[in-house]
Structure 1
Amino acid sequence: MSESKTPPSGGWGALKATLASIQPANAARAVIALANANQPGGFDCPGCAWPDKPDTRINFCENGAKAINHELDRRLADAAFFARHTVSEMLGWDDYTLEQQGRLSEPMRYDAASDKYLPISWDAAFALVGEHLRAIKPDEAHFYTSGRTGNETAFLYQLFVRLFGSNHFPDCSNMCHEPSGRALNASIGVGKGTVTLDDFEHASAIFLFGQNPATNHPRMLGTLREAAKRGCQIVVINPLREAGLLRFQDPQQPLEMLTNDATNIASHYFQPRLGGDLAIAKALIKAVLEAGAHDEAFIEAHTEGFTALAEDVLATGWDALAEASGLAREQLDALCALYLASDASIFTWGMGITQHRHAVATIQMLVNALLVKGNLGKPGAGACPVRGHSNVQGDRTMGINERPSTAFLERLGKVAGFTPPIAHGRNVVETIAAMEDGRGKVFIALGGNFAAATPDTPRTWAGLRRQSLTVHITTKLNRSHLLPGRDALILPCLGRTEVDETGGMAQQITVEDSMSMVHLTRGVKPPASPHLLSEPAIVAGIAKATLANSPVDFDGLVADYDRIRDLIAQVVPGFQDFNARVRAPGGFYLGNSARERRWTTAAGKAQFKVHALQPDVIAEMQALTPHKLLALATVRSHDQYNTTIYALNDRYRGIRNERRVLFANAADIAAQGLAPDQRVDIVSVWTDGERRVEDFRLQPHDIPRGCLAAYFPETNPLVPLDYHDVEAMTPASKAIPVYLVGG
């Protein structure tokens, strides 16, 4: 289909999809809830972390509406539901069906004899967790966290776990933007993006690397639309040609809707091979240096390591850069010309950059490209890692980190009156290995769907089943609940949209968005069940049942969340006067040292990092098999947020009512002797052997030769546990060596 005939993203399709996500019996509640989404006095959307514009009357997108309506579900997965279904039966259901069973309504304990979950009281559930934790060493428990958890819960959770004696915090960040934090900290001294929404109003060019906003954070399209309208160059670098990045029809613009008009988003679209971004960043630097366009004054005053970088880049040939990027030389030249012409550039990126073997190196090369032109710390320029869940960045700020800084631990210990553990804990990959080999005995998940989100699915499942206890604090049924340890609990909590009256008073929590704005969020709807507890109350209940003679008054903290915020203000930099500042309209900005050109690196300057072009993993693995290897990227569908499946469609890619789809270049399909719509198995190749998923339909797509894409979690079994970024250990899910077997 030609681009001119491709329906735009947003528009009537988004409105129809939003309406379709509302249960008819729930329409009135849904309208009230949506009107309070991302509004003062309302709740922060439980979807993505894109910042809010305080002057926007309607401030939710299609996928945000799906997330909200998903939480407002009036169906209940209650004791009667669990009495009808065994765990073994439900394990055979697909992920979409599991999510459709409704809200979890009361605490449940797994009974191995009947293979069913049975009701348990909250007090008995807390006592059971405490009994298991007291029976093991702190090193034998792992505490997972989802990015939808609020700041107060995250702080309380890490406080409890460190009082228990552990830094084992496998976190959803380990599977997405861990490389961003590692790379940025080393290069510029702060592990967060340096831009705010205001910078998008002043940028001459915005370069989007490895992300698909229309599906993953649709509100970003409104920001890009405004930039495009004023003539900003929107440069997309993405292997897949995504309809959502081409044209956007804003549902909040009546004229566009009535005239069926749309705004072109991408002014230029480049499709490198999977993993070709490091070479592209290096080419941008080479073009700047050869043109003499580097900012000598900025480099001299604010950076270190420029000479070594320049020597390495200038010694790298253009042909080598083109080959490694997957772009033709003339395409690479055109891309470089756009960067040279821009006097203020923003680089944004998503998991298409972070989920590679050399993700940290790639991000540091992107930062090098910004530094060489002085594109940090000035209006309209900077680094913008676009994070996923609405508080994944806040979780890290609150101390959910398996590698906490000494300074953080010292402040925490002084304020709370104990000596925190100092040994580094385990991340997600290390946790799976530890659970698998018996070093892990208790696994507690504060949200998320660990079994579906993680790599090497059979190994993850086996590890969960080996636990003496698994605990899941959650709102809806998912795959992880069906892989119980010898003992297992499901503890249902309040959702973001629901009124929290913990301690007999109306409570509020806070979240931090991708651009370091911290603001309050307050639920507006009655809880789905009278048996639900808030996340802070559940964490406090577990802590009290586990810790003897705790120096922390957990009851007092959860009686008034202001008290938790008072503790945060004493421990976490930037949160002084937390309770007062967060009550200002729109909350407050945490600040960013690199944005102010203050470099908190050891040397006191931004660091240029030298990285060679990396070997092609597909070529490396080709020696292990006679089959023709291709590179597979795992991606989301449009009706999906992380592992949550809202429906079985992917509107922008033309998919309806199915998920086992493999997107491939038409020439690759023919070269393999296969045909469109044919069913194939996908086999991944790694040093420890092969992995296989079955029965995927081949779908021709505009994607470079040698590259494939398919949805996760269906393809997560193909990702080897030790196939990850060499520094941050994030699974390399965006370039898996695979071959196809025709049915």
Structure 2
Amino acid sequence: MISGTHLCMTRLNLLRLNTMPAAADERFADIARLRAMSNEELHQLGRIPYPMVLERGGHGFMRVSWQQALDRITAEMKDIPAERMGFFATSRGLTNEAYYTFQKLPRMLGTNNVDLCARLCHSASVYGLKQALGVGAPNCSLSDFIGTELLVLFGTDLANNQPVTIKYLHYAKKKGTRIVVVNPYREPGLERYWVPSVASSAVFGTKLMDDFFQVRVGGDIAFINGAMKVLIEQKLTHEEFIREQTAGFDALANFLCALTWQEIESAAGVSRAEIERFALLYGKAASAVMCYSMGLTQLLIWH
């Protein structure tokens, strides 16, 4: 684990938004004006420290007391059968205490229909990893980025969504790690990033991406299937590990053998030559870490 200070500009920006002065009521009096504003302009209006309501057909938001707000919410909810209720919370910025309190409310009303966007983020991984590895969690940590010969990033935008992670990528590059990105979008933040807690990077930036493979949206599995097909054909697989630690490899190999390169290229959106280049980078690396994010877990994919 990296010691020292970690600075996250995303969190600092959230802190700034959450500690802004209270906005004046009149700023929300004209709904047409609000609709014409950008997200950034809306953020600059200030923090909303009290309940507000927009009546049907109204021209703007009006301030109401907390008691009035709670009374209105209660009136709307009291006649709804418990089994017809659902509660959903965002995962960003909430504390464990807030989650605990949140899930108590629906249970008091007689329902367990409680969901979080964290489930959408992670349920696919939990199920998939459990099926493949026997445990629904990663088998390495961020510190394993540092020193691995190859780091492959699938369907991820670490620079914007998990910016603290970039500090590990910075030190991985210092150790000679080669970073490969497989994604439909060439994210500028993965090409060069300015890590605020590392003086040299904060001033000059850190070059991250060494290779980029631009799959089509939903083409990741086809790309990976093509890479595995090459690894088997080039005899770059670890036979002893496969024999002693895995099951179902023969069925996988037969499936991959039956795939044509025309099918793979069409679904992946990447040429055979590029898929072969990726497979050789991976197959000949002494060590490698695979990292993926919601670009894979929240997308319908070809298989």
Determine if the TM-score, normalized by the shorter chain, exceeds 0.5: yes
RMSD between superposed Cα atoms in Å? 2.9
The separation in 2 between residues aligned to 1:220 and 1:279, in whole angstroms, is 27
Question: Which residue number corresponds to residue 161 of structure 1?
Answer: 106
CA deviations 1:470-503 (Å, max 9, x no partner) are: xxxxxxxxxxxxxxxxxxxxxxxxxxxxxxxxxx
Residue 300 of structure 1 and its aligned partner are, at CA, apart by: 4.4
The separation in 2 between residues aligned to 1:142 and 1:181, in whole angstroms, is 23
Question: Which residue number corresponds to residue 208 of structure 1?
Answer: 153
User: Taking structure 2 as the reference length, what is the TM-score of the superposition?
Assistant: 0.84
Structure with greater strand percent: 1
Unmatched tracts of structure 1, length 5 or more: 1-52, 359-612, 615-743
Alignment of 1:490-569 (within 5 A): none
Question: Which residue number corresponds to residue 68 of structure 1?
Answer: 15
- SS at the partner of 1:155? helix
Question: Which residue number corresponds to residue 43 of structure 2?
Answer: 99
Question: Which residue number corresponds to residue 274 of structure 2?
Answer: 331
Structure with greater helix percent: 2
* Identical pairs, percent: 27
Say whether 1:285 aligns with 2:285.
no
Question: Which residue number corresponds to residue 311 of structure 1?
Answer: 254
The separation in 2 between residues aligned to 1:338 and 1:271, in whole angstroms, is 16
TM-aligned CA distance change 1:189 to 1:241, over 3 Å = same
Question: Which residue number corresponds to residue 342 of structure 1?
Answer: 285
Residue 116 of structure 1 and its aligned partner are, at CA, apart by: 4.3
Alignment of 1:625-704 (within 5 A): none
Is the 8 Å Cα contact of residues 210 and 238 (structure 1) preserved in structure 2? yes
Alignment of 1:381-392 (within 5 A): none
The separation in 1 between residues aligned to 2:86 and 2:229, in whole angstroms, is 45
The separation in 1 between residues aligned to 2:37 and 2:193, in whole angstroms, is 36
Say whether 1:55 aligns with 2:55.
no
Residue 96 of structure 1 and its aligned partner are, at CA, apart by: 3.0
Residue 226 of structure 1 and its aligned partner are, at CA, apart by: 1.1
The separation in 1 between residues aligned to 2:52 and 2:269, in whole angstroms, is 52
Say whether 1:141 aligns with 2:66.
no
The separation in 2 between residues aligned to 1:157 and 1:257, in whole angstroms, is 39
- SS at the partner of 1:304? coil
CA deviations 1:620-673 (Å, max 9, x no partner) are: xxxxxxxxxxxxxxxxxxxxxxxxxxxxxxxxxxxxxxxxxxxxxxxxxxxxxx
- SS at the partner of 1:77? coil
Residue 137 of structure 1 and its aligned partner are, at CA, apart by: 0.3
Equivalent residue in structure 2 for 1:130, among 65, 74, 97 = 74
Alignment of 1:243-254 (within 5 A): 243-254=188-199
Alignment of 1:565-604 (within 5 A): none
The separation in 2 between residues aligned to 1:132 and 1:301, in whole angstroms, is 60
Residue 114 of structure 1 and its aligned partner are, at CA, apart by: 4.9
User: Taking structure 1 as the reference length, what is the TM-score of the superposition?
Assistant: 0.37
The separation in 2 between residues aligned to 1:81 and 1:248, in whole angstroms, is 37
Alignment of 1:166-565 (within 5 A): 166-173=111-118, 176-255=121-200, 260=204, 262-358=205-301
Residue 334 of structure 1 and its aligned partner are, at CA, apart by: 0.9
TM-aligned CA distance change 1:129 to 1:248, over 3 Å = closer
Is the 8 Å Cα contact of residues 227 and 279 (structure 2) preserved in structure 1? yes
Is the 8 Å Cα contact of residues 236 and 284 (structure 2) preserved in structure 1? no
- Between the two proteins, the alignment pairs up a number of residues equal to 302
- SS at the partner of 1:347? strand
Equivalent residue in structure 2 for 1:120, among 39, 47, 64 = 64
Unmatched tracts of structure 2, length 5 or more: none
Is the 8 Å Cα contact of residues 223 and 268 (structure 2) preserved in structure 1? yes
Is the 8 Å Cα contact of residues 206 and 232 (structure 1) preserved in structure 2? yes
Residue 256 of structure 1 and its aligned partner are, at CA, apart by: 5.5
Residue 91 of structure 1 and its aligned partner are, at CA, apart by: 3.6
Residue 234 of structure 1 and its aligned partner are, at CA, apart by: 0.9
The separation in 2 between residues aligned to 1:111 and 1:269, in whole angstroms, is 50
TM-aligned CA distance change 1:128 to 1:298, over 3 Å = farther
CA deviations 1:481-535 (Å, max 9, x no partner) are: xxxxxxxxxxxxxxxxxxxxxxxxxxxxxxxxxxxxxxxxxxxxxxxxxxxxxxx
Is the 8 Å Cα contact of residues 152 and 290 (structure 2) preserved in structure 1? yes
Is the 8 Å Cα contact of residues 229 and 263 (structure 1) preserved in structure 2? no
Is the 8 Å Cα contact of residues 8 and 163 (structure 2) preserved in structure 1? yes
TM-aligned CA distance change 1:154 to 1:94, over 3 Å = same
Q: State the one-letter code of the partner of 2:169.
A: L
CA deviations 1:341-368 (Å, max 9, x no partner) are: 123322112333234222xxxxxxxxxx
CA deviations 1:173-208 (Å, max 9, x no partner) are: 466554334433443344443321222124221101
TM-aligned CA distance change 1:100 to 1:164, over 3 Å = same
